[in-house]
Each structure stands twice: as C-alpha cells, then as structure tokens.
A and B are shown apart, each in its own frame.
Chain A
Amino acid sequence: MEIPYTVKPRPDTGLYNAKVGIWLFLASEVMLFGALFSAYILLRVGASAGTWPHGLLNVTLGTINTIVLITSSITVVMAWVSLKLNQFGKFKMYQAITLLCALAFLGIKSVEYKDKFSHYQIIKKDGTYVDGHMHGATYLDKEGKSREEHKFHGLSFKENNVEYSLKEVVLNGIEAAQLSEINEPHKDKEHKHEHKNISVPAAEIQKINNYGPWHNTYMAIYFTLTGLHALHVIGGALVIGFLWGPGAKMWRTEPERFTNRIEVSGLFWHFVDLVWIFLFPVLYLL
C-alpha cells in the first residue's frame, strides 16, 4: 500500500503528512526537555548556599560548540534549498558539512566529559577539601612494594591475583576549608587558590569521587541534560547521514519526496540546535 500524502499536501491540513508527524513529535520533545529544565530550576533554587558550582565548565569549548551547531543549522537549510533549486551536488556538500559539525560537536562534548571524569574532589577527615585533576595515585601490595598509577582505581584493586591498596592520591588543584571556596571562586576574593600538586594520604581521606553525574545535583542535571541532547545529536546525525548516503538514491526516483524528507530531518536538527541555545547559557554562563 502506498503511503498517502508524502508529497502532495493533504487537502484538510494543507501539509504533507510527515510534516504534521515531525511537529507532533517535536511538541512532545518540548515537554520532555521542559520537564528537565523544570528539574534544573528546582534543583538549583533548592541547593544550599555554596553547593551549586559556578564557572566549572569551559566557556570557550561551550561557545565553540554553540557556533558549530549554528553553522550546522545553516548548512541544513542550505542543503534543503539546494534540492529545491535542483542542485544535488550542493546538497551533498552542505550535508557533509552538517555531518562534520555533528562529529565536531560530539568530539568537543566528549573532551568536556573526559575532563569531568578525571576531576576529583576529596573530603578529608578533618572536614577540609582538596579539589583538582587526578595527577596520580600510589598503591601498595602486601609486601609494601609501591606502584604508581596515572588513574585512580579505588581504595584497592586486584591484578594477577595481587591485591593493591591505596597509599596516597595526588591531585593537581586547590585546597579549601569550605565547599563554597571551590564552587563560588568569583565570590571568594580573600583566598587566592593557586593550582599545585597536592598529595593526600589514604588515611586522611573521608570521601573521594570524581565529577561524574554522582558528584552533586549540578553534575547530575548537567549530564542528564547534555547527555540527552547529545543522544539527539547522534540520532539526527544518523538520519541525516542515511539520507546523505544510501537514502539519497530516492532523489533519482522521487525527488520531491526526498526533498520533503530532508526538510523533516532538518526540522529535527533545528530543534536540537534550539535546545542547545538554552542549555548553553543555563549550564555554562549563569
């Protein structure tokens, strides 16, 4: 059975069906992200003083990613325009740039994620803090022989039936008496924190964890919002990639239907850009 109204507008709606479909889907997406933005507002307002991090994310990388997504938005529009003007070669070029932008965005995002997973915070038994990137950790086996590691492997780990236990951790960062000195450095003019290598013996550690989603509510909502957004970038790139590659053969048989497919995938892509327009200031700047 032939799918109705893939090209011709349906008389009652004045639209081809896929366009109605994508807008209904985008409407549900607005509510999905809306619910998460609502969660963000509640978490932020409910956070105790000094516990919400400011200036934690790299604004330069966030700005570059914003520009990358905006660039991909114009190339998606230009790809659709090219098909309308019967310029298939230009369509291929513009969508290739879109796909490169998607890859660049995800690459930059993964650099940012990696940075957070190597960023640790230690709460010492005396109640003070050490915060910084993992420089190294020293482990001891049962005979007291030490072993240097670049990564943190927990309080102990086993390898080739030999058990190693943590001796000390070295972070490249700062020491702080209060959490607010770490989370609100702009407010704390008294303490000038210079980054240096700080060694913390295992016996002094009360708690150690990295800046993964488990670290605090800010990191939890940051990873949830940007992770869901990144999944949308991946999904959009897969569809655009399919229509750029194997799916492009439809252009030879049904050019108008193919053009509509590009428009629909473009609408989704613009929505992904739209979400980022709000995520960027909310997570990076405010």
Chain B
Amino acid sequence: MSDNHTAHDVSKHVRGYLIVFGALLIGTVLTVWASHFHFGNKDSNVGNIVVALIIALTKAFLVAGYFMHLISEKKLIYSVLAFTGFFFAGLMFLTLWSMHPQNIVHFK
C-alpha cells in the first residue's frame, strides 16, 4: 500500500482486513485440530512438522501481506527483506546442514 492512501482506498480495504482476521482464526483452530492426528511415517513426526509449518507460513503470509501491507509495498522495503530472506534462509540451511548424517561422526 502506498503512503498516499485516500479515505476511500482505506475503507475499501477494511473488508479485506476482516477476511484476513477470520482466516487467521480458522488457521489457529486448524493447527490445533491437525495436531491431534499423526501424518506420514509412524516413527517420525516430520509429517506433523510439515503440516504445522504450512499453516503457520500461510498465517504469516496473511499477516505480513495484508496487515503489514507487504503485498503492495515500495521497492526499497522488498530489497531490505530480500537481504533478510537470504540470510535467514542461509541460517536455516546451515542449521539443517549441520544435522546431516554425513557431518556427524559417532565414536563407539
């Protein structure tokens, strides 16, 4: 959303905000409900982690996209967040990479 919102523009967005609010509530109930089931492999909870992350990422997209107006923001903000995204992804990659079986040597 640009910095020059007119009153008309803003009131048009109110309906969208309320829909996002409803979707976030549904997402919350969904994530609690889904936690009662076991997804995927019996001995692993990777399936449940994936389901919980998909719901959380969807909720995060709604908050960042609509409440924080990121779906129509200026280029500079996107540039700043591109750097953040790059380094955040790098951090998570290093975290997961460090757990790769090849990088862990067990001495017996």
Contacts and interface: CB of A to CB of B under 8 A. Distances in A.
Interface residues of B, number: 50
Contacts, number: 126
Interface string B1-32: 01111010011011001101100110011011
Interface of A: 9, 13-16, 19-20, 23-24, 27, 30-31, 34-35, 38, 41-42, 45, 59, 63, 66-67, 70-71, 73-74, 76-78, 81, 84-86, 260, 266-267, 270-271, 273-274, 277-278, 280-282, 285-286
A30 B31 contact: no
B101 to A, nearest CB: 11
Contacts of A77: 17, 67
A31 B84 contact: yes
Interface string B88-99: 100110111011
Contact of B7 (A31, A86, A280, A286): A86
25 contacts: A15-B3, A23-B77, A27-B80, A30-B88, A31-B87, A31-B88, A38-B95, A42-B98, A66-B28, A70-B24, A74-B21, A81-B17, A84-B10, A266-B67, A270-B68, A273-B63, A274-B63, A274-B64, A278-B56, A280-B56, A281-B53, A281-B55, A285-B35, A285-B52, A286-B45
Given A31-B91, A38-B95, A59-B35, 17 more contacts: A15-B76, A20-B77, A27-B80, A31-B88, A41-B95, A42-B99, A63-B29, A70-B21, A76-B67, A270-B68, A274-B63, A277-B59, A277-B60, A281-B56, A282-B52, A285-B52, A286-B48
Contacts of B83: 27
A271 B70 CA distance: 12
Q: Is the interface of B mostly helix, strand, loop or mixed?
A: helix
A41 B25 CA distance: 27
A35 B91 contact: yes
Contacts of A273: 63, 67
A63 B76 CA distance: 36
Q: Of residues B5, B81, B84, which shows the largest number of chain A Cβ atoms within 10 Å of its Cβ?
A: B84
A85 B7 contact: yes
B71 interface: no
Contacts of A23: 77, 80-81
B13 A81 contact: yes
Contact of A14 (B25, B29, B76, B95): B76
Contacts of A19: 3, 77
B31 A280 contact: yes
